[in-house]
Structure formats: structure tokens, C-alpha cells
Amino acid sequence: MVGLFSAEVARRLQSRLSMIVLEELDDFPSLDLETIRFIAGFDSSYAGNIQCAVVVVYDLQAGRVVEKTHVGVSVKVPYIPGLLAFREIPGYMRAYGKLSVKPDVLMIDEHGLAHPRAFGIATHLGLILNKPSIGVAKKHLHSEIVTVDNRKIVKAHGRIIGEVIEHEKQKIYVSIGYKIKLEDAVKIVKKLLVENKKLPIPLQIADEYSKTIKNKYYK
């Protein structure tokens, strides 16, 4: 027997958990970008009700992907803006569990703190796995964009929590997920941007891998 999903309860949970995160926000540690090595990229594609969740681990030092895992799961929760984590995280946790290389930083193709209740999927996943995490989204969800010194700063909940980067004529909304400073998150994302690819490498490869696996096994 499974309980029915309640959007109201889910939103309440997000609000409560975000209090923990916002309290720690100013004390999120600086990362030593010289020693950061494994970046995990999470993404999903769908074949009807089947979510093909994948994790790609990119070795920043070697400059290549060292591991990919995937899992196909039937989703139990509909897509509701702001509650995407409840739909996608179960699949991500199962794909993550299959990794033999445990990443230093998580990168998710969605928002982190730039979320109505400061608890986007990147924040949610970072908290659950207790890892630094970065939200990298292609569209705006919730935030105020302020231009300061030619930089597009993302503000939400009275805090500076993200930055909009332009790459290949496209906007990339970077936001703090968990346990990471904005400047480190932006540096890592920029370091992973390449020509002719819209997203940072781990997410670009995760996106392609997810679609390939979905077409091969879940269609």
C-alpha cells in the first residue's frame, strides 16, 4: 500500500527543510577548487510514465566521464511546478546508489534555492546526500534578477543565491543547492562550459545519455 501524494504536505515539508538550509547558508564552506575532482550530473527523460534517471560522473582533473549509471522507474507523482523533486528524486537516488565513484559535487539540471520555498531539487538532493550541490536550470522559476557590474545576480528570499550566465546565446540559471558558496558554484559551472554545448559537460552528457538509454530500453 502506498500513501497518496499530497501537494500541501510536500510544500510544508519543503518550507520546514529550507529553514535548516537558510540557517546554514552563510556558513556554507568554500571548496578547494584545485582538489575538487568528481562532478556528478543528474538528468531525466521520460517514456510515458517511465522516468529514465541517469547520473554521469565527470573527472574534472582527467577531463573525461569516468562512470554512468541509469535506472528506469515508474513515476508516482505528477509534474507540479515547485514540487519536481518529489517526482524525480526517487529515480535519482536509485541511480546514485549504483555509482562506485562517489562524487565531490552534485550538479542537477534544475534549480536549487531559486525556488518558491527555497528548496528546489538541487537543494533537496544535496541535503539528502549531504553533498555540495549546484542547480543549473534553463528557465526561470522563482527569483529576482538584478544586474550588478554586468553580472546578472539572482536574488530570492532576501538573499543572493544565484547568477544568470549567458552561454551559446542561451541563459543558464545557476543557483546554490547546498553546502556550496555561490562563487564556487559559478566557477565550477564556468569551468565545465564548452563550445557548441548549451549545458556544462556533465549535464550535457547526462542529457544525451538519458535520451539514448530511454530510446534503447524504455520505448
Partner DNA sequence: GCGACAG
Partner DNA sequence: ATCTTGTCGC
Residues making contact with DNA (CB under 7 A): 43-47, 79, 81-85, 109-111, 115, 120-122, 135, 137-141, 207, 211, 214, 219
| Rounded CA separation 102/139 (Å) | 29
Least separation in angstroms between CB 147 and DNA: 18
Least separation in angstroms between CB 88 and DNA: 8
Q: Which three cell numbers stand for residue 129?
A: 546526500
Kind of pairing, strands 133-137 and 50-59? Answer: unpaired
Q: Are the beta carbons of 127 and 21 closer than 8 angstroms?
A: yes
Least separation in angstroms between CB 210 and DNA: 7
Smaller CB separation from DNA, 73 or 121:
121
Smaller CB separation from DNA, 17 or 101:
17
Least separation in angstroms between CB 46 and DNA: 4
| Rounded CA separation 94/88 (Å) | 11
Smaller CB separation from DNA, 152 or 211:
211
Smaller CB separation from DNA, 149 or 195:
195
Residue 138: count other Cβ atoms within 10 Å of its Cβ: 13
Which of these, 167, 165, 166, lies nearest to 175 by C-alpha position? 165
